[in-house]
Structure formats: C-alpha cells, structure tokens
Structure 1
Amino acid sequence: MKDAGILIIGAGQAGYQLAVSLRDAGYEKRVVLIGDEPDLPYQRPPLSKAFQSGDCEAEQVTFQKEPFYEGRRIELMLGVRVLHIDRERRHITTGDGRRFEYEHLVLATGARNRLLPGWDSATSGLLTLRTLHDAHALREALNRSKRAVIVGAGFLGLEFAAVAAKRGVAVSVIEASSNLMSRAVSAPVAEAFRGHHESLGVSFSFDSGVKRICTEAGRVIGAETTDGVLHEADLVVVSIGVVPNVELAKDAGLEIANGIVVDLNLATSDPSISALGDCAAFPSRFAFGNCRIESVQNAVDQARYLAQRLTGHTHGFEAVPWFWSDQGGVKLQIAGVAMNRADEIVLRGDRAGLKFSAYGFSKGQLVAVESVNRPADHIAARKLLAADAPVTPAQAADSQFDLKTVLQSVT
C-alpha cells in the first residue's frame, strides 16, 4: 500500500488538471489517471464552437501528447471502466478484471447528458454532444444538414445554434421554459442573447416540450412539440442538461445529494476519498449553500486546490465561481452563481450594443454579475465578490462611479 499513491477516476478537465497539479506541487508517489474514453484527455468547450465550425481539429483540443504523461510519471489508462470501489481494502476493480490499490482515491467522474425518453441512438441525425466522439459525429451531420432543431436553450445548445446558423443552416430551438438560459442568467441578459440569436436567423419555440422525435426509414425528419407543431429537420440535437456520474460513489456507500457530497476540503464522507469537478456537490458561500458547478474553471480551481491539500495544505476551497459562453461572437462571462437569489438587478453599459453588465443584489448584497462583451467588468466582479466588497445598487447603476474604488475600502 505504501506505493499505491493517488488514483484518479476520470480523465476530463478536473482529473487531468489534478494529475498535473500533483506533480507541480511536488508529489512524488504514484499517480494513476483512469479514463473511460479511448482518447487522450481533451478540452470540451471548443467541441460546440471552434470544432464544429472547422476552426480546430482533434489534436488542437487535446491537452498533451503521450510523451508528456510519461515525462511527468502520470500513468494514463484510457478506455478503462471502473466497476467497483472497495473502501475497506482501498482498491478499485476495472471492467477487464484488474485491481488497483490506492492511498487516496479521487472521483472526477464528471457528468453525462440527459436524454429524452425513448432515446434511440441508432436513429440517424439524432445526436447529442458531450464527448469528442459525439463532436465528430455532429460535425459530419452538420456538414450535410440544411435544417436543424436544437432541443434546449442552454449554453451548449445556443453555442452550437450560432455556429450552425452562421453556416447557413436553418435553426429552430425548442425550449421548455419561457426564455433562453433561464436557469443560468437574468432576464435582461437572456433577452439580449435572444435578440442576438434571432439576428443570426435562429428561431425559438418557448414553453414547449418535445412530444416525439419524428423519423422515416431510421432517419430523423423533425421534432413534434407538445403543442402539436412539427419542426422539420434533418438534424436534431438534444441539449437538455446533464446528470452527474455518481453511481460508483453511491454503490460504495458515499453520501449523494445532487452529486457526490464533499466538504470544504473536497473530501467525501470517507477521508481516503475526495471528489471534484462536475460530479461534486460542495459548500460555497457564493452559492449560499451546497452547489454543483459544471464549468472548466471550477474543475481547474478545485484540482489545483486539491493538489495542494493532498501535499500538505489544509485550508478550505473558496474560489469565486465563474463561467463563460461564446455565442456567435458575443461573449458572456458570469461571476457568482446566485443570480436566482437576486431581488434587484442593475444594468451598467450599452445594452442595445451588447456591451453591458447585469449586477444582481440580494437584500442589498452583490451576489452575481453577468457581463456581455465587458471583460473588465467581469474581472472586477470576481474581485468584488471575493472581497465581499460593499457595492450598492446605486453605485453599480452609476456609470461614472469606478467600482474598483470599493475594493480599496476592504483591502
């Protein structure tokens, strides 16, 4: 067991970053990184944008080539599925019958796409996007498509919608709620992006669910909504959120609640097991309770923190959550995750020109900031939230007031 080292299950952004950060932090024992996909660890954000537009290829989204892992003494195991965790004996069992011991186990199992009831992966032209394999299939389908239906108006669906529309494809988006990105952004930002997408030629069907996917001879021909409207298409992309991969943790008896429950140190109920990234539900003062965040930056921040903790640091994880989405050349950056708690929203900048920020306040306290093509606002917002700076709605609304001066009172 003394040579067992750290075993990481999941070779996505969080798992990859942790393995690299452990070596950067001086960890000398064994590091094993296990991924169930056959591809070298890669970035996911470009898959819905640059990869679909043809601006980048698979080798450009790959983090590193194989020699890098060999040089850093990271044992990379690809195409391997972990079936069981034996917490008492501290080992895991893989699908090919092998066992690997661990001194510390890290679950970076990520999430998988939520699918429509009756999903049939054999239907030609009915696709989803999560993996590099999915991205290849989607790009091939896009190249021969004239009409596309996207189910779900979240970040990923809208990113792909913009790419498809700019390539001359007729795009319709079906969304169950009353606006796009409804669970993630404020109404003013949602409305601004709706106008932007409509200017690209994207049409929306809100407050509509999908009654059935229509097919002919095994190929998709459209989607019928719950109000009886048939949206014709030769490509249907389903993007209705994700489900955290918690089955391994649950079977091992770890606590589960909207993800694998961890504490401020990203430790599970078993001190020998930690979890991070899309699969982990962690406490955050910025979310006013436990949250599970699906973002690259959260994965990177948590991985770097956990590497420090596992090499001797014991302070708790407390990074400001932040996100971004590039939709047809308009960039959205979000600091904080509590905009849904805001009882007052203040706008700053040029809303009509798509260069503005929305500041969300709850009982007078700044809780989140959404910035549209205003990167300086975003950077300042992260600092303001981290410092609990006493910004007032009146100050945020005053375009002549420099919000950075508020930081001086708390630093």
Structure 2
Amino acid sequence: MKPIVIIGSGISAYSVAREFRKINEKTPLHIISMDSADNYSKPMLSNALANSKNATNLVMAESAKMAEQLSAKISANTLVHAIDTEKQTVNLASEVIPYSKLVLALGAKPIRLSINGDAAEQVLAVNNLTDYAKFRKAIKGKKDIVILGPGLIGCEFANDLVQNKFNVTVVGPDKYPLERMLPQAAGRHLQSELENLGIKFKLETTVEAINFSESQLQLQLADEVFLLKADVVLSAIGLKSEVFLASEANIIVNKGIVVDKTLQTSAENVYALGDCAEVNGLVLPYIMPIMNSARALAQTLSGNITEVSYPAMPVVIKTPACPIAVASPANESDGEWQIDENDEGVKACFYQSENLTGFVLTGERVSEKQSLTKDLPAYF
C-alpha cells in the first residue's frame, strides 16, 4: 500500500497526522522533514525566555517518539528535491518515494531585507528550533538587542527580551507597532506600554547598513546621522509562505499554495495546509486555522471528502505588558473603526453596514473577547 506522505514536521504536519490516526490506524504514513522533526510549539519561541525555556527543553517529543505515537515512518534531516505529480512520487537525494496522497505542510520562511555593510550577514532570524538555539547562543552575555520590524513577532520578542534585562530597540518603517493589524489608538497603547518597560522605538525609518565596529555592530538608519549600536540584530520583518516545491511541480501558487476548501491543490491527490496554504484566498498563519484545517483534511485523506470551515478566530498577541486580542476584518475598504479608549485599554470595533466584522482589544479590555467573538461572522 502506498503511504500518505507529509512533507514538513511543524504544527500543521503533526496536527493532521494526529487527526488522521484518530480515524485511520492502518494506512501507512511517511513524514519527511528537512530538520530534526522533533515536535515543538513554534509560537513558544517568542516568549521562551519568560517561560525559562531554551531550544532543548522546548522540544515536547523527539522524532523517534513521534514516529511511535503516530505509527509513522519519519525521515528527519531529509531534503525533498522534487515532486512528480504525474507519477505521484517524491524525489529525495537517493530515493524515490511513491505516495497515494501528498500533504504539503511546508510552513513559511522569513522575509529577508537587502541591507548594505560588512556585517549585514550577522542579522539573525528565528523561524525554527535551530534558529532559536543560534539566537540564544548569540545573546548570551550580551545586552543590546536591535529588532528589525515592529510587527507581531518583533513586539513579542521585544517584550520577552526586555523582561530578561536586555536593552531593546525596535526599528521599522511603520508609524506605530503592529500597524498592519491594529488601528492607531491600539498600536499607540501597545507602544506606550512597551516603552514603559524600557523598549525604545525608532519608527518611520529603515536600516541602510550594518557594519562591524570593535566589539559591537553599528546600524546606519536612513534618517539619522548618529549610529545605533547593537550586540545582536534580530530580523522580524515577517514571513512569506514557502511555495518553492509546489511551484516547481507546476502546482498553482499565489500568496501561498492555492487550495480549495477541501485543501486540495491544483494537482490531484496533493493537499496543503498551514502557513504555506492559501485557502479561499486567505493565508492565515495562526494556530486555530491550522487545527480546523487538520481536522477537515484528516477526514478527506480517509476518503470522507470534507470542506474546512473558518469560524471567527481571534488572535491573542503575547505581549504581557499590553495584552491584545485581534479579530481582523476580512476587508477594511468598506467599513470603519469605532474606537473607545479609557484607562483599562482600547476597544476598537470594525463595522460594515452596521454589522460587527472585526475588533481589537488591548489591556484589560481583552476580557470582552469572548462576548464580541459571538457577534462576528465566519470567514466561510
């Protein structure tokens, strides 16, 4: 019997494997991963210091244990060279793996900036356990950290680092933190609370060059004569869906790997979920969409064709200095934000034709998340 092959070993891959095993114990599973395939929670990387976790003890189960739990073959540290959708095979360096169905759980990769200077290659990004281990090694015994990007990941890392006595400066072109996710009042509240912890923001500017200077790095900003110094520079600009393997196999890609509501790609018997997948025009790189997708796809892989549904799924941002809950409206072009700001925080509700379609809550106002979520429409 040809196996179901899953490429990837992140939350998406292991979630769909678990859900599949709940309803099918016999069909062979083969998980192929370019890394160690150890099971860990990627969202925990940005607040691991606060939780006294390092790269080693973030691991919840090593790959051998996962193979046992899932009754699966796991090929760790294995690079997939190509997918042949006509022959239904996955090509490795020295082996060709046939599949009955193929699941792409490729995740996303960090967006890289083009920066000048002889130390530009020293910029770190954290996207997996190996990256995080390298980052923790780099900051050991250091004090001054510059984070490029005041978005979700950048702010979460900044909060985590400053709580552990690092000097943190966040740099980016945005007018305020999380500008793409929050209305201005909420973003300014977040910025104020993070600044109260000691985090510095250099906004509405970019880094033009990074150079070595004695024991530190020097960052030249676009709008300043003076140089910004750092021991470590962390890039948190954002992520983009990993689509290379799919694109090379002539599978349709756009922002992500394009799938229908059954999570099937343009190729027969090939599916995608998680950060790499564009479902009904949406790329939602969060836990709840992954879990909904995993449950639906497990049914489909078992022969019970099932469409995924996305209910309202607010995102909680891990910035303890200023808790935030976000339910982004699908489209902001034909509605307006109504802002209520008081000593407890910001409550921002987005209305379209008098219907609530999104909200942002900060501070103590996060307690209203559950009641507001009940009034939101489903994505589909």
Structures share fold, TM-score greater than 0.5: yes
Mean Cα deviation higher: 268-277 or 27-36: 27-36
Aligned to 1:343: 335
Tell me if 1:276 matches 2:273.
yes
Pairing partner for 1:40 from 38, 41, 61:
38
Q: 1:210 aligns with which of 196, 207, 211?
A: 207
Alignment partner of 1:5 out of 3, 10, 20: 3
1:266, CA displacement in angstroms? 1.1
| The 10-residue stretch of structure 1 (141-150 or 177-186) with the greater mean CA deviation from structure 2 | 141-150
Secondary structure (helix, strand or coil) at the match of 2:318 reads: strand
* Equivalent position to 2:59, from 38, 59, 62: 62
Give the letter aligned to residue 173 of structure 2: A
Separation in 2, partners of 1:35, 1:305: 23
SS in 1 for 2:374: helix
- Give me the whole-angstrom Cα distance separating, in 2, the residues matched to 1:327 and 1:64: 27
- Bigger shift: 247-256 or 18-27? 18-27
Instruction: Choose between structure 1 and 2 for higher RCO, CA contacts under 8 A separated by at least 6 residues.
Output: 2
Does 1:141 pair with 2:150?
no
Matches of 1:25 and 1:334, distance apart in 2? 34
Instruction: Verify: 1:224 aligned to 2:220, yes or no.
Output: yes
> Is 1:164 equivalent to 2:161 in the alignment?
yes
Distance apart, 1:123 and its partner CA: 6.6
Tell me if the contact between 1:124 and 1:220 (Cα under 8 Å) persists in the aligned partners. Answer: no
- Superposed CA offset, 1:170-214 (max 9, x none): 221111121111112222211110111111111111111111112
The number of residue pairs the alignment matches comes to 375
Letter of the 1:20 partner, please give it: R
**Which structure 2 residues correspond to residues 184-263 of structure 1 after superposition, within 5 A?**
184-216=181-213, 220-229=216-225, 230-263=227-260
> Where does 1:4-403 land on structure 2 (aligned, <5 Å)?
4-49=2-47, 51-53=48-50, 55-65=52-62, 66-94=64-92, 96-117=93-114, 126-216=123-213, 220-229=216-225, 230-283=227-280, 290-320=281-311, 321-338=313-330, 340-341=332-333, 343-347=335-339, 351-354=342-345, 356-372=346-362, 373-386=364-377
Distance 1:57 1:167, change over 3 A: closer
Asked whether the equivalents of residues 323 and 334 of structure 1 are also in contact (C-alpha less than 8 Å), the reply is yes
Residues of 1 paired with 2:185 and 2:21: CA distance?
A: 44
Aligned CA distance change for structure 1 residues 58 and 383 (closer, same or farther; 3 Å): same
Contact 1:125 1:234 in 2 (8 A): no
Give me the whole-angstrom Cα distance separating, in 1, the residues matched to 2:268 and 2:185.
44
Contact 1:125-1:141 within 8 A present in 2 as well: no
Cα distance in 2 for residues equivalent to 1:121 and 1:369: 44
Cα offset, 1:137, TM superposition: 1.9
Structure 1 counterpart of 2:232, one-letter code: L
Deviation, 1:128, is: 1.3
Is residue 181–residue 328 contact of structure 2 (8 Å, CA) maintained in 1? no
Structure 2 residue matching 1:299: 3-state secondary structure: helix
Q: After the TM superposition, which segments of 4 or more aligned residues of structure 1 sit over 4 Å from their partners? A: 118-125, 373-376
SS in 2 for 1:317: coil
Counterpart of 2:156 in 1: which secondary structure?
Answer: helix
Q: 8 Å contact 2:299–2:306 — kept in the other structure?
A: no
Q: In the TM superposition, what whole-angstrom CA distance separates every residue of 1:338-367 from its partner, at most 9, and x where no partner exists?
A: 37446322345x64333x432111232222
For 1:163 and 1:34, the matched residues in 2 are separated by 32
Q: Quick check: 2:193–2:321 contact (8 Å CA) kept in 1? A: no
CA apart distance, 1:235: 1.4
3-state SS of 1:204 partner: strand
Q: What SS does the aligned partner of 1:291 have?
A: coil
Conservation of the 8 A alpha-carbon contact between 1:262 and 1:275:
yes
Determine the C-alpha separation between the residues in 1 that align with 2:120 and 2:21: 44
Q: Do the aligned residues in 1 keep the contact of 2:194 with 2:321 (CA within 8 Å)?
A: no
Moved more, 146-155 or 336-345: 336-345
CA distance in 2, matches of 1:269, 1:188: 42
- Please give the per-residue CA displacement for 1:212-243, whole angstroms capped at 9, x wherever unaligned: 112236x6513211113421111111111112
Task: Quickly say closer, same or farther: Cα 1:56–1:384, change in 2 above 3 A.
Answer: same
Aligned-pair CA distance for 1:142: 2.5
Q: CA deviation at 1:43?
A: 0.8
**How far apart are 1:84 and its partner, in Å?**
0.4
The residue type paired with residue 70 of structure 2 is: R
| SS class of match (2:263) | coil
How much does 1:278 deviate?
0.5
The answer (yes or no) to whether the contact 1:186–1:340 under 8 Å persists in 2 is: no
SS in 2 for 1:61: coil
Cα deviations across residues 229-282 of structure 1 (Å, max 9, x unaligned)?
Answer: 421111111111112110110011111111111111111111311111111111
Kept in 2: contact 1:341–1:362 (CA 8 A): no
- Over 3 Å counting, the alpha-carbon distance change for 1:103 and 1:115 in structure 2 is same
Helix, strand or coil at the partner of 2:376: helix
